[in-house]
Amino acid sequence: MGIGFAVGVLGVLIFFHAAYSTVQYRALLKITEEEFSGPPMNVVIELLVGFVLCMWAGLTVPGKFLSILPYSEENRVVALPANTDFMIFNHRGKALPLEIDAKLK
């Protein structure tokens, strides 16, 4: 798996803990009959730390980014798919003119 995956799991666990803490805080406010004005500061910090960890894991776990080679043979379509049932050529696009004589002013 790797360290990046473990960091991502830790970030998700921190998100769940922040959600649980917010629910507990709201239950406490109902008992004390106070109004909810926002989550406590420690929950906001947990959310930010969890977000940063999940973003870091999301960028590192998939692997290295590879460059796209525009003239590579792997990018070319060399044959039509075997199932041509979904290829429709009789559509409303045929009502449009073939040549557009639009001139920029």
**Share of residues in the chain with pLDDT > 70 (%):** 80
SS3 content of the chain, % helix, strand, coil (to 5): 55, 0, 45
Cα–Cα separations (whole angstroms), residue 95 to 19, 82, 88, 90, 100: 55, 29, 15, 10, 13
Residue the block writes with tokens 């557009």: 100
Question: 14-59: per-residue pLDDT in tens?
Answer: 999 999 999 999 999 999 988 888 888 999 999 999 999 999 998 8
pLDDT score at 36: 81
